[in-house]
Structure 1
Amino acid sequence: MKFKAVALSGAAIVAFATPAVAQQAQPVPAAQLVQAVNIPFQQFTLPNGLRVIVHTDRKAPVVAVSVWYNVGAKFEPKGKTGFAHLYEHLMFNGSENAPGDFFEPLKQVGATDENGTTNQDRTNYFETVPTAALDRALFLESDRMGYMTGAITQAVLDEQRGVVQNEKRQGDNQPYGLIQYKLTEGLYPAGHPYGHTTIGSMADLDAASLESVKSWFKEHYGPNNAVLVLAGDVDVATAKRLVTKYFGAIPRGPASVAPAAPIPTLATPKAEVMKDRVAAVLTMRAWTVPGLNDKDAPALDVAAGVLGGLASSRLDNALVKKDKLVVSVAAYNSSMAQGGTFAIQAVVRQGVDPALVTKRIDEILADFLANGPTADEVSRVVTRTAAQTIDGLEAVGGFGGKAVALAEGELYSNDPGFYKKQLEALAAQTPASVKAAANKWLTRPTYSLTVVPGPRDAYEEARVPAAEPVAEAPTPPAKGNRGPLPAVTAVAPLSFPAVQRTRLSNGIEVVYAQRTAVPITKAVLSFDAGVAADVPGKLGTQQLTLNMLDEGTATRDSIRIAEDEERLGAEIGASSSADRTTVALEVPSSNLNPALALWSDIVRNPAFDANEVARVKQQQLAGIAQELTNPNGLAARVVPGLLYGAASPYAKQRGAGDPAAVAQLTPADLKAFHAAWIRPDKAKIFVTSDRPLAEVKAALDAQFGNWKATGTPGIKSFTVAAQPATPRIVLVDRPDSPQSLIVAGIPTALKGTDDLLPVITANDALGGDFLSRINTDLRENRHWSYGASGNFRQVEYAAPYQIAAPVQADKTGPSLQSLQADLNDFLGAKPMTQAEFDRTITGAIRSLSGQFETSDDVLGAMQQNDLLRRPDNYYATITQRYQGLTVGQLNRAIKGAIDPKRAVWVVVGDAKTVKPQLDTLGLPVEVVPAASVATAR
């Protein structure tokens, strides 16, 4: 069951015409949801060509700053693949007037969502900052736009080249991780702008010279090739003054002209087979299609949704539910600015002939092309898309907020309001228009790819890096003359919403916070269960029970459940943490009552039909098999038992369960778990909504107020003291791994319900932040990793410390040794410094408004506070707590909590490459095959 948040909060985020139909039984029409979405904006252009868009949203004292450059992978000539993405990294490493890592001054001002991305069409940088820090953010963005090249030295280039190459290895190291290369090369001819991946080739990255990357910048990053969006607590008059001040003097650059990118058509169908160390066969069909500005793009979006995007899609209903040929299937239409990819892919069920799957896919597609979708299918796609768009527009910035929608429209379509036209075009689709577009583009020759289990064929990208060149005398970066960074005035304090509590007529507690700006309700049914409640000897029972909730009730089958959700614009999903099992609902408030009826039916009345259990059980077993091919999945199955000890309920955290046990589960097992744990006396309901508490409570009471507990409730026992493993290295042998995943677990005497603010705050400098010592060491200084971190794993009855570091295979031993040194230094002779303390405390306080901008943030905080027995106003008072901390207090706290000598190290990698490195570290090394990780250790 998938869960995607659709909550919005605050004032003037998106203009909504709230339908006066909150209590109706029928869903609000899809077109009405689409028409409700609007992002008011104003725009202006500086004389140097910089386009600026301003959206005012006063819900929180923060501003999203988003800069989009008209340069991406499609602009890269032969021999320079990966340059746009490499430069994205370089532009985080300081500019002439802001030397050093850009995350440093952003951390100081309390920035949130700070990052950058590159795709085929563009490069963007973004951060959300307190209103008082807008001057500084604009200074930084303007400095890397206009004063960048002098700060790029050979050392900076070498550092970020290594980071990017490890980002590439990290992606390649995943199961099916090489598909992107095959798909791109299979669909596009050599030399086509979309004919190579954004990450580029190792050879081209190796060949990038200091002169070539500086030339690349000068050719593409001028203000006339950029769009700047300011969204949040800002008005257009302020924006004009500040943007002119900081960007106005930057001269225009050469125009970055998009290359011609015709949509290619294969001369004949093309089919390829590749091997990978995967658990199941994957089969794919793909076509090139038009980009997002083409009139057929919305129709193809609908076609993809009907075929394989909806939970009730035709392919899912036929291949997963009816024929039981595959464990999963999906269709998608991925639109870029000048082209796109339409694809269908399926993971084949064990023992099924892949040829039969492709035959059935072709038959279902042929029927769709012949007859088109129904009007109801089209409407359900539109409703779901409108709800997901609303979800993405809650935040002012980040990866998918309003700043993104406005910038993307301006850069790709010369219209910041293009998002609205896209939604309206989607709502205007008919069965006939969808059928016509699908027949136009999906009857052309197909590219087919089948991935089969087996050792990967040798490929150039996996080679061990050449020996590092002898360092030459460093060239100092150029220094600018713009003066110091702008000062930050007083940052407005966090205004955390008031949390209210009440009870339904049967005693279920409701924890509620009102968010009045938009008509969205989010609710989470939280049960005191979690993975710790899984059945001993039958691990995976909880997961299979949750997987079955939306597979049928006493009155609805799985298809009807999916269709009802889609018509309501609702999403219902079940998940679990170590301590809690949750079933969540999100829905436009106008559809609240019928959505609550559906939610209640799913939670209270699952059918656990024997035939459906057998099918879903096979899907879960396939998921477990996939976990055993995934580095993160393997580590997640090994670490808990070593860290907590086999007798701890927390040692049950073993992915989707024990495959031997799952294979034997029956409907009776699932009914027993449901009766013991999914029950009203173990439930709390957490809600954020625009509707007042009295109305929400009445609606919940109508569906859950008569739910009575029967039988004996389940019991979790934490009375046995944890017995973690003795320090050692456990090497999980995963052949053909271009990277190794290092995970360390250090048991502590802490519990999640303890006051952990001092140790968590101290850890910000050790492993909890991008600027932490662990990440700076392995990523920035040594460039052996794309990113490394360490954090306290805060669960109700424990709080161990864990480190995670994916590193290039040939540096596994040195990386683990470096992590040991980082721990020993921080906990010994080199504790947190006053400068690190000041940065951490200042950043933590200033970032609070950004951290709790959205309803999702608030809803998560409400649940976490309840689990850890904090007061509901915990975050409303946390500023005073931060201000009372001292560097000495933090150092004493973390030194008393973490003993690095107790660390158990798990390494997932290729034993033939990795073990000789680990044997030199002075710890016993136990090698286990990946397949053996399936059973408990």
Structure 2
Amino acid sequence: MDMRIAWRPAGLIFLLMLLGTAGCDRHQAPEDRKDNVHRALTPDREAAASSKAAASRNAAYVKPPKIELPFHRETLKNGLTVIVHEDRKAPVVAINIWYKVGSKDETRGKTGFAHLFEHLMFNGSENFPGEYFEPFQRSGATDMNGTTNNDRTNYFETVPVGALDMALWMESDRMGHFKGAISQEKLDEQRGVVKNEKRQSENAPYGQAFDLIATHTFPSDHPYSWTTIGSMEDLDQASLEDVKQWFSDYYQPANAILVIVGDISVEEAMKKAREYFGHIPSTSVPTELKGWELPSQVNKRLVTTDQVPQARIYKVWNVPATASREENALDLMTSLLANRKNSLLYRRLVRDEQVATSVSAFYYGRQLAGQIIIMVDVKPGQSVEKVEKLLDDELREFARSGVNAEELRRIKQSEFASLVKGLEKIGGFGGKSDILARSEFYYDDPGAMVNGLDDYAKVSADDVQDVAQKWLKPEHFTMVIRPKGEYAVTGESVDRSQLPAVDKTVELDLPEQQSFTLDNGLKVVLAERHDTPAVFMSLQYRGGASVDGDTPGLASVVARMLSEGAGDYDSLAFSARQEELGASIGAGSGLDYNALSFSALKTQLEPSLELLREVISSPRFEEDDLARVKSNWLDAIRQEEAQPQGLAMRKLPPLLFGKDHPYGAPLTGSGTPEAIESIARDDLVKFQATWLRPDNAQLTVVGDVTRDEIEKLLNDTLGDWRAPSDPLPTVEIPAVERPQNARIYLLDRPGAQQSYIMAGLVMPPWKPEGAEAYDAMASAIAGKFTSRINMNLREDKHWSYGARAVSMGSEGQRPYIVFAPVQTDKTAPAMGEILKEFNEYLGKRPIKESELKDYQDDEVLKQSARFQTKVQLLSSIVWQLQKGLPPEYIAEYPQRVSALTQEEVMQAAKEFLAPQQFTWVVVGDLSKIQKDIEALDIGPVEVLSADQ
């Protein structure tokens, strides 16, 4: 049987997060999404194909990239499968362990165990009883998390080479030495954390949608009929003995896959695998669920309501599982239907009829069954019935009339390009270790995903139409969520007595930065890196939200409109051309800068640069496109206002800086409805001509190209782009004063299951002097998982799923924002705990020597992975150039961090932190929280209306 592979578009990450997947999210990373890769088995049907079918297949064929991912696979005596891949480009190693257990292995009445156990596994083991993240967060670990879905649970991290023994010791300790560490106290603690995670998810608009889909599309005895997070009732009833038995049954070597990828030889990796994991025994592993009969279609309709700003239509079909012969065609079908500007449903519903604001479609493949899910957000004011009829008509016509082979070919080329660019990472979601583990888990072959590329390339238009006709039937599950009312707003010799020491030697080999200027005056910095045949660029220019003036959101709309066509390419043709080249050209907007991002395969660099030139010099800014973008933009603002976090981010900036300040616009970058309504095409043209010019821009290039090659190409393609004769406008960011006393603003969200707490403080502009002390100060109090505030509200009190603080990047004064979603009845107490932590940090409990040492070790060792990919290197150089710093500033960072003292860090705390001057914004059910907040007596309380 032939191997096939399909690559999931990254834009669907958030959808699959909702589909019963759940992660520990200790680093705010999403769960293992199907945005990376999967591959299906299909028989070779070419011999039986007609000449017409063969022609169709050839027309859609794209030569796949040549990718080498050699691996060593070995099974230890205890049954542990070990996979090793050597990658020497950076001094880091990725570890990825997949356990063959997910929510499908649970039973009714005992749901949520797999996900609950994933949380428990981060609470220490028999030989390391402390918080699991502690040694990693002082050892430079990155891409670290744990995730659970219907089928499996995984744990992963990327560490510097010197921390590999520590990481393997920790992973093996919780595999082989964990049962005795499970206590009633820890069970109760993590049960509370999971409950808050569930509340947080369900508190979001459409938050219960996929629970309803699971319930209504699978029989009640099917393992996919409940979501991964389970029910609160089942979690409450879980006994300590139940949980310990779960560990004994599933967390053993014979039920696991260990992948080691990075700067290590196969021999050394296998030696360490045997040393740390070889002694752990395996007992009888529960029989793996396979071959479950495909559930019959549910011809059913459900209409429900929720606190959402617009109606959403869901269409769900039960289809074959992962590894079925139809998997690739099903997946490609969803890309043809939605998720791209050129996709059928997007063109019809969003662009042409303008009755929807977004359309998504995806194939959700799992071991026992798959589903095709289509989601349509109905534009406010439009009839749900009308939109649903249009949707059904288009699906019926799609299955009847066939598939465009050229469009199918473009999709494949685009996905292949994404794969090449993504394979630079060794760990994390979609990295090499993830691909090898996924291939082994789903297809019993670590090389299946890469080895099947050519068969994926051969999927024909007829193959896709076949699955459309077979599965997109009128019999399916339809759910409509309508708005509810209005918003108020191995080795036995391993020493388990102590954790292995981490080798803190970090040796980086960063490419030289080569600077030159094009004939038109554009400054360019190049860093060569030739590991994969791809080139990445960033064109930064001053002109973000800070120059919006009376039209907040203008810079963001300009950036959005740059992808709506340029030169001879209208919006759809522009998108098609990118797919054809395997290029990606995007635009983004920040507080002070707008940017164009660019990536291309080396073989298509010149035509891709020609397309970039059209974006820079000849954006179309068509009136019809602008009208559609503005309409959808306004709907998106309503979506933000429906999210507690989005609402708080909209309301806080004008309270910190003033409504007319350049930084007073919503932190989401979306502007205000009034401003968006007023934007005309002339405003876009003027903004582009005023700010996007060679003398106001910096181009940074990282990739598989030499200076001679890229300088000639850039002069040939961008040489006619010239600065206008008008002088470049100046940008002034006025300073503001902090309030003398705290202020509290409340926004009512009746019925909310959680409150969203946000507290802001204006900080001085960034400067190199003292920057490291500031970062260390901020990290210890609220900047990472083990920070004081998160440990208090999440781990100690179990009131929140996570609390953090961030410093926003800006040229002027920086917003410092603390945020914490908490259960409703703990809103005022949580605010009190936040204040207590800040005040004690400034007083009787300053940063401890151990906290500073952990921070220093972690920051220094993280440099090993900081420049692993071209995008990471590009981002660092762009930041360095924006700040006007020399290249050695990055290289000397570890020395500056290592030299920090407690006195310097606390001086920064006293200079910058002032909790008595916080501006608080709290979104929640005021009938339940307002009186308690007023009783805190920390400052005047004002209730804001939705339009304030």
Q: 1:734 to 1:752 in 2, by over 3 A?
A: farther
Q: Distance in 1 between matches of 2:63 and 2:741?
A: 58
Contact 2:541 2:692 in 1 (8 A): yes
Kindly provide the amino acid, as one letter, of the partner of residue 861 in structure 2: R
Q: Distance in 2 between matches of 1:630 and 1:553?
A: 34
Instruction: Give 1:708 deviation, angstroms.
Output: 1.7
Q: 1:756 to 1:800 in 2, by over 3 A?
A: farther
Instruction: Give the corresponding residue for 2:213.
Output: 183
Instruction: Give the corresponding residue for 1:855.
Output: 870
Instruction: Give 1:620 deviation, angstroms.
Output: 0.8
Residue 618 (structure 1) aligned to one of 618, 631, 651:
631
Contact 1:767 1:789 in 2 (8 A): yes
TM-score (norm. length: structure 1): 0.92
Q: Distance in 2 between matches of 1:285 and 1:724?
A: 51
Q: 2:576 aligned with 1:563, yes or no?
A: yes
Residue 483 (structure 2) aligned to one of 444, 453, 461:
453
Residue 363 (structure 2) aligned to one of 314, 324, 333:
333
Q: 1:531 to 1:788 in 2, by over 3 A?
A: same
Residue 711 (structure 2) aligned to one of 680, 697, 700:
697
Instruction: Give the corresponding residue for 1:596.
Output: 609
Q: Distance in 1 between matches of 2:194 and 2:485?
A: 25
| Percent identical | 38
Instruction: Give the corresponding residue for 2:552.
Output: 539
Q: 1:450 to 1:569 in 2, by over 3 A?
A: same
Q: 2:928 aligned with 1:913, yes or no?
A: yes
Q: 2:320 aligned with 1:306, yes or no?
A: no
Contact 2:538 2:700 in 1 (8 A): yes
Kindly provide the amino acid, as one letter, of the partner of residue 684 in structure 1: Q
Contact 2:62 2:413 in 1 (8 A): no
Q: 2:526 aligned with 1:512, yes or no?
A: yes
Q: Distance in 1 between matches of 2:368 and 2:767?
A: 50
Q: 1:626 to 1:930 in 2, by over 3 A?
A: farther
Aligned runs of 1:52-201 on 2, under 5 Å?
52-201=82-231
Kindly provide the amino acid, as one letter, of the partner of residue 918 in structure 2: A
Instruction: Give the corresponding residue for 1:11.
Output: none
Instruction: Give 1:499 deviation, angstroms.
Output: 1.8
Q: 2:496 aligned with 1:496, yes or no?
A: no
Contact 1:67 1:227 in 2 (8 A): yes
Residues 746-794 of structure 1 deviation map (CA, whole Å, 9 limit, x = unaligned)? 2233435654111102222111121111111111111111111123333
Instruction: Give the corresponding residue for 2:18.
Output: none
Report the secondary structure of 1:327's partner residue. strand
Q: Distance in 2 between matches of 1:304 and 1:528?
A: 38
Q: Distance in 1 between matches of 2:707 and 2:846?
A: 48
Instruction: Give 1:496 deviation, angstroms.
Output: 2.9
Instruction: Give 1:490 deviation, angstroms.
Output: 4.3
Kindly provide the amino acid, as one letter, of the partner of residue 516 in structure 1: H
Contact 1:728 1:905 in 2 (8 A): yes
Instruction: Give 1:32 deviation, angstroms.
Output: 6.1
Contact 1:51 1:228 in 2 (8 A): yes
Structure 1 residue runs without a partner (length 5+): 6-13, 15-27, 458-479
Q: 1:801 to 1:787 in 2, by over 3 A?
A: same
Which stretch of the first structure deviates more once superposed, 660-669 or 45-54?
660-669
Which stretch of the first structure deviates more once superposed, 388-397 or 32-41?
32-41
Instruction: Give 1:925 deviation, angstroms.
Output: 5.2
Residue 384 (structure 2) aligned to one of 317, 340, 354:
354
Which stretch of the first structure deviates more once superposed, 594-603 or 134-143?
594-603
Kindly provide the amino acid, as one letter, of the partner of residue 748 in structure 2: D
Report the secondary structure of 2:137's partner residue. helix
Q: 2:691 aligned with 1:661, yes or no?
A: no
Q: Distance in 2 between matches of 1:198 and 1:93?
A: 20
Contact 1:30 1:383 in 2 (8 A): no
Residue 651 (structure 1) aligned to one of 642, 653, 664:
664
Q: Distance in 1 between matches of 2:573 and 2:302?
A: 37
Kindly provide the amino acid, as one letter, of the partner of residue 444 in structure 2: N
Q: Distance in 2 between matches of 1:415 and 1:910?
A: 52
Contact 2:60 2:461 in 1 (8 A): no
Aligned runs of 1:250-329 on 2, under 5 Å?
250-260=280-290, 262=292, 264-266=294-296, 269-329=299-359
Instruction: Give 1:222 deviation, angstroms.
Output: 0.7
Q: 1:253 to 1:385 in 2, by over 3 A?
A: farther
Residue 844 (structure 2) aligned to one of 789, 810, 829:
829
Instruction: Give 1:917 deviation, angstroms.
Output: 2.3
Kindly provide the amino acid, as one letter, of the partner of residue 662 in structure 2: P
Q: Distance in 1 between matches of 2:297 and 2:540?
A: 55
Q: 1:722 to 1:588 in 2, by over 3 A?
A: farther
Q: 1:3 to 1:541 in 2, by over 3 A?
A: farther
Residues 449-502 of structure 1 deviation map (CA, whole Å, 9 limit, x = unaligned)? 111111599xxxxxxxxxxxxxxxxxxxxxx98321122234332333322221
Q: 1:424 to 1:931 in 2, by over 3 A?
A: farther
Report the secondary structure of 1:284's partner residue. strand
Which stretch of the first structure deviates more once superposed, 152-161 or 539-548?
539-548
Contact 1:394 1:854 in 2 (8 A): yes
Q: Distance in 1 between matches of 2:249 and 2:10?
A: 43
Contact 2:60 2:458 in 1 (8 A): no
Report the secondary structure of 1:249's partner residue. coil
Q: Distance in 2 between matches of 1:353 and 1:422?
A: 44
Q: 2:758 aligned with 1:743, yes or no?
A: yes
Instruction: Give 1:81 deviation, angstroms.
Output: 1.1
Report the secondary structure of 1:370's partner residue. helix
Aligned runs of 1:322-721 on 2, under 5 Å?
322-443=352-473, 445-455=475-485, 482-536=496-550, 538-655=551-668, 656-710=670-724, 711=726, 713-721=728-736
Report the secondary structure of 2:890's partner residue. coil
Residues 115-141 of structure 1 deviation map (CA, whole Å, 9 limit, x = unaligned)? 110011100001111112211111111
Q: 1:533 to 1:116 in 2, by over 3 A?
A: same
Contact 1:86 1:161 in 2 (8 A): yes
Kindly provide the amino acid, as one letter, of the partner of residue 585 in structure 1: F
Q: Distance in 2 between matches of 1:359 and 1:614?
A: 24
Which stretch of the first structure deviates more once superposed, 229-238 or 724-733?
724-733
Contact 2:794 2:801 in 1 (8 A): yes
Instruction: Give 1:550 deviation, angstroms.
Output: 2.0
Report the secondary structure of 1:99's partner residue. coil
Contact 2:59 2:405 in 1 (8 A): no
Contact 1:648 1:720 in 2 (8 A): no
Q: Distance in 2 between matches of 1:455 and 1:291?
A: 39
In the alignment of these two chains, the number of paired residues is 888
Q: 1:234 to 1:326 in 2, by over 3 A?
A: same
Structure 2 residue runs without a partner (length 5+): 1-8, 13-36, 38-57, 488-493
Q: Distance in 1 between matches of 2:60 and 2:530?
A: 22
Q: Distance in 1 between matches of 2:158 and 2:707?
A: 31
Q: Distance in 1 between matches of 2:62 and 2:270?
A: 35
Which stretch of the first structure deviates more once superposed, 340-349 or 386-395?
386-395
Report the secondary structure of 1:787's partner residue. coil
Instruction: Give 1:725 deviation, angstroms.
Output: 8.3
Which stretch of the first structure deviates more once superposed, 287-296 or 33-42?
33-42
Q: 1:757 to 1:489 in 2, by over 3 A?
A: closer
Q: Distance in 1 between matches of 2:350 and 2:10?
A: 20
Instruction: Give the corresponding residue for 1:900.
Output: 915
Report the secondary structure of 2:506's partner residue. coil
Instruction: Give 1:268 deviation, angstroms.
Output: 5.3
Contact 2:420 2:532 in 1 (8 A): no
TM-score (norm. length: structure 2): 0.91
Contact 2:420 2:534 in 1 (8 A): no
Instruction: Give 1:401 deviation, angstroms.
Output: 0.5
Instruction: Give 1:873 deviation, angstroms.
Output: 2.4
